[in-house]
C-alpha cells in the first residue's frame, strides 16, 4: 500500500535543541517521518523556556508532530536506551559541541556500528572541524560572521541582525535536503549510512553567493544600502499617505517602465536618465525622490490598486495582523490551526510547505508535554518493561508526563 505521506516509515531521533536541529526534524515530521524527541528529563529542550513567556509557544510549533522521550545522556542507562533507539532509527539529529557525544559513548563510531544504515546530522555553529569548531554557535553569531549583517541595514546605520532565527532556518532547510539525499543514496543506490556535517555558518554564508564571486572578480565589498540594491533600481520601500509602507522592484525593463509611467507619466517614463538600469542606478536618488513624492500622495490601498491595474510589481509591507487578514495567505493555508490539549481553542502556527500534490504534509499535534511519549516509545522500541521505565523515571534517567498507562 502506498503511504499517504512521503516519509512514512522513516524514524528520526531528534536529540537537538533550540532551532536549527529541531527545525530539521520538524520538516521531516511534517511529511510523515516518526520523530522521537530526546531531551533532558528535568529541563527539556531549551526552546521550552524561550522568549518572554512561560507558555512554550516556540516549542509548540517547532516540535509539532514529535514524541517526547526524555533521556539523561550523562547516565549509563540513558546512553543504553538512546543506543537502543538508534538501533531502529533511520536518522539522528544532534547539535552538541563536537566530541560531546563521543565522551558519552554515543558518538558516530559507536552508533554506526550499532546501525550501519544510520544517517546522522551533526548541526553546529561552525562544523565538526576547523579552528572554530569548539566555539558555542548561535544563529546570531553566524549571521554576523557570515557577512550577512555587514551588508544589511541603512547605509549610515549599524550592521543589522535579522529579528528572526534566519540562520537556523536556512541551516534546517539545508540539513533536511541533505538527509533526503543521504537516504536516497542509501536506499536507492545501495549505499550505507553516513554522517552530515551541517554548519550554520556555512549555510548562512551560502546566501551571499553573488557577493562571493563579485568580491573575488571585481573587488566589490557589499556595504549596507538600506532597501536599495546595487543591481536594481527602482528597488526600495516607500511610505504612503496613510503612514503604511509598500515595496517595489523594477528588476525587469518592462516593470521599470510601468513604474516610471505610473509615478511621473510620459515625462518621467522617457527621461533619458532612467532609460537603462545603469542610468537608473546612477540617478537613484532622483528616482527615489520622484517615486517617494508620488507615494506620499496616495494611500496604500490606492497605490496597490493603481500598480496592479498597470501590472507593475508591488507588495505591501505587511505586519502580522495584515497577514492574518490576507486572503492569499488564507487560501494557501500559510497559517493553520492545530488542536492543543493545553488550551480551549486551536493554536495558530505557520503552515506546512512546500505543497506536494499527491503526498502533502500535515500537523497532527503541537509540541508535546515533556515525557508524554516516554513510556510508549521506550517499551515499544527497547526490551524495557513499564515497571523499569517508571523506576528509571524516579532516578531521573527519564521522565513520564501526560496520560500514560502502566
Which residue range(s) make up the domain with 301?
245-316
**Residues identified as active-site:** 168
Flag whether 357 is in a domain: no
pLDDT in tens, 129-141: 999 999 988 899 9
pLDDT at 51 over 80: no
pLDDT at position 220 is: 85
Flag whether 142 is in a domain: yes
CATH number at residue 119: 3.40.50.10540
pLDDT at position 52 is: 64
What separation in angstroms does the CA of 371 have from each of 84, 147, 397? 18, 40, 11
pLDDT in tens, 277-328: 999 999 999 999 999 999 999 999 999 999 999 999 999 999 999 999 999 9
Flag whether 217 is in a domain: no
What's the pTM value of the predicted model, to 2 decimals?
A: 0.93
pLDDT at position 6 is: 97
Flag whether 187 is in a domain: yes
Q: How much helix, strand and coil, in percent to the nearest 5, is found in the chain?
A: 40, 10, 45
Q: Which of 316, 337, 353 is at the close of a domain?
A: 316
Grid cell for residue 311:
501590472
Among the listed residues 157, 152, 135, 144, the one whose alpha carbon sits nearest the alpha carbon of residue 205: 144
Mean predicted confidence (pLDDT) in 354-365: 96
Question: Same domain, yes or no, for 160 and 75?
Answer: yes
pLDDT at 53 over 80: no
Question: Same domain, yes or no, for 185 and 269?
Answer: no
Question: Same domain, yes or no, for 99 and 177?
Answer: yes
Three-class SS state of 99: coil
Question: Same domain, yes or no, for 282 and 370?
Answer: no
Question: Same domain, yes or no, for 266 and 195?
Answer: no
Flag whether 331 is in a domain: no
Residues 6+ apart with CB under 8 A from 221: 215
Question: Same domain, yes or no, for 158 and 258?
Answer: no
Mean predicted confidence (pLDDT) in 81-109: 97
pLDDT at 402 over 80: no
Amino acid at each position: 500500500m502506498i503511504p499517504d505521506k512521503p516519509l512514512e516509515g522513516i524514524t528520526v531521533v531528534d536529540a537537538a535543541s533550540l532551532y536549527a536541529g529541531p527545525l530539521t526534524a520538524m520538516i521531516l515530521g511534517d511529511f510523515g517521518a516518526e520523530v522521537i524527541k530526546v531531551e533532558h528529563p528535568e529541563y527539556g529542550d531549551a526552546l521550552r523556556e524561550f522568549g518572554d513567556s512561560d507558555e512554550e509557544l516556540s516549542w509548540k510549533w517547532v516540535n509539532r508532530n514529535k514524541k517526547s522521550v526524555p533521556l539523561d545522556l550523562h547516565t549509563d542507562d540513558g546512553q543504553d536506551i538512546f543506543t537502543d533507539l538508534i538501533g531502529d532509527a533511520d536518522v539522528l539529529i544532534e547539535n552538541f559541541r563536537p566530541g560531546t557525544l563521543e565522551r558519552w559513548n554515543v558518538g558516530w563510531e559507536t552508533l554506526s556500528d550499532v546501525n550501519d544504515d544510520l544517517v546522522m546530522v551533526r548541526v553546529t555553529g561552525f562544523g565538526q572541524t576547523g579552528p572554530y569548531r569548539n566555539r558555542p554557535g548561535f544563529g546570531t553569531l553566524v549571521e554576523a560572521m557570515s557577512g550577512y549583517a555587514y551588508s544589511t541595514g541603512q547605509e549610515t546605520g549599524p550592521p543589522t541582525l535579522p529579528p528572526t532565527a534566519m540562520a537556523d532556518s536556512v541551516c534546517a532547510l539545508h540539513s533536511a535536503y541533505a538527509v533526503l539525499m543521504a537516504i536516497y543514496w542509501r536506499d536507492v543506490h545501495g549505499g550505507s549510512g553516513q554522517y552530515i556535517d551541517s554548519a550554520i555558518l556555512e549555510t548562512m554564508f551560502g546566501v551571499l553567493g553573488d557577493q562571493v564571486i563579485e568580491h573575488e572578480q571585481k573587488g566589490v565589498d557589499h556595504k549596507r544600502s538600506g532597501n536599495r540594491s546595487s543591481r536594481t533600481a527602482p528597488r526600495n520601500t516607500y511610505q504612503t499617505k496613510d503612514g503604511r509602507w509598500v515595496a517595489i522592484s523594477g528588476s525587469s525593463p518592462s516593470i521599470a517602465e510601468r513604474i516610471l509611467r505610473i509615478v511621473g507619466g510620459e515625462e518621467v517614463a522617457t527621461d533619458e536618465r532612467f532609460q537603462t538600469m545603469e542610468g537608473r542606478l546612477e540617478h537613484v536618488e532622483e528616482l527615489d525622490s520622484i517615486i517617494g513624492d508620488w507615494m506620499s500622495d496616495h494611500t496604500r490601498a490606492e497605490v496597490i490598486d493603481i500598480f496592479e491595474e498597470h501590472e507593475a510589481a508591488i507588495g505591501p509591507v505587511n505586519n502580522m495582523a495584515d497577514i492574518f487578514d490576507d486572503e492569499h495567505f488564507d487560501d494557501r493555508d500559510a497559517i493553520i490551526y492545530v488542536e492543543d490539549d493545553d488550551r480551549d481553542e486551536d493554536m495558530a502556527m505557520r503552515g506546512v510547505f512546500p505543497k506536494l500534490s499527491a503526498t502533502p504534509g500535515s500537523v497532527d499535534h503541537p509540541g508535546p508535554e515533556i515525557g508524554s511519549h516516554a513510556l510508549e516509545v521506550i517499551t515499544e522500541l527497547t526490551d524495557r518493561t513499564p515497571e523499569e521505565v517508571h523506576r528509571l523515571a524516579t532516578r531521573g534517567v527519564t521522565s513520564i508526563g501526560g496520560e500514560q498507562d502502566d
